[in-house]
Amino acid sequence: MRIHVVFHGRVQGVGFRYSAKQKALELDVHGWVKNKEDGTVELEAEGNEAHLRKFIGALKNGLNPFIKVTHIDQKLLDNEAGYSTFSVK
């Protein structure tokens, strides 16, 4: 299963991407995360459905007290890309 997500809120300059990478490694989720110029954070991830649900749930709730996600745009993608790691772009 592969998903594409854009996180809105206080998500840049607060450790969001590196916290996402740590959680992805913990849950065996692969893909990437990057800051966008509009202040959002974009993420693409793949793995089993249960792990992806836990991963996105943890990110929505904020992995540290400085992160405040106000909205997410999430889309299920058709096929897996074959990522072998989770990277911060």
Catalytic-role residue among 2, 17, 53, 64: 17
Q: Which DSSP category does 65 fall into?
A: T
- The CA-atom distances, in angstroms, between 62 and each of 37, 45, 84 are 21, 17, 25
- Dihedral sign (CA 51, 59, 81, 87): negative
17 is catalytic: yes
Catalytic-role residue among 2, 35, 48, 53: 35
Q: Which DSSP category does 83 fall into?
A: -
- Which residues are marked as active site? 17, 35
